[in-house]
Amino acid sequence: MLGELEYIKIIHNKSELKGTAYIEFSLGKYQNEHWKEDSIFIYDDMLAMRLAFVKYVKDFEDKGDIWGIHEIPKSQWLDVIKEIERFNALLESSIDYADFTSKTKDYDAYNLKEDYSIASVKHVEMSNDLIKWLNQNLLKHDYITFIGV
């Protein structure tokens, strides 16, 4: 797991990407472009807070998965942010993976199972970085597109 811990982060510079298994957060509505300079990226297996998207983004409900292009309006992002904060609170209040899973069955957080104390802290840091980026950019953009590639 220690090798995987390095992937629990937001990537702000696309030159740091290794391969194509990422979720891209792109400003505005989709413009037929991937891998934009002003996008941020999360390694796809590290998105333990998937439920936040499935639960609050209508497009995810309609398509049934996170893959593809999802143009998400500001109002839905605000709900997603609240759910990510709830997820973070569960991570922070749990002493280990068993404790975490005893508190919720909502989240698929298998990638936090090993080295929970380190992985959960890194995931909270990644989530907080995402929330900060979203809040800053939702001041200027009515949409942020989620691209599961």
Q: What is the per-residue pLDDT across 81-111, written as a single tens digit (0 to 9) for each? A: 998 999 899 999 999 989 998 988 777 677 7
Threshold 0.85, pTM exceeds: yes
**Which of 127, 56, 58 shows the shortest CA–CA distance to 87?**
127
126-139 residue pLDDT tens: 999 999 999 999 99
pLDDT of residue 2: 42
1-40 residue pLDDT tens: 446 788 889 999 999 998 888 889 999 999 999 899 999 9
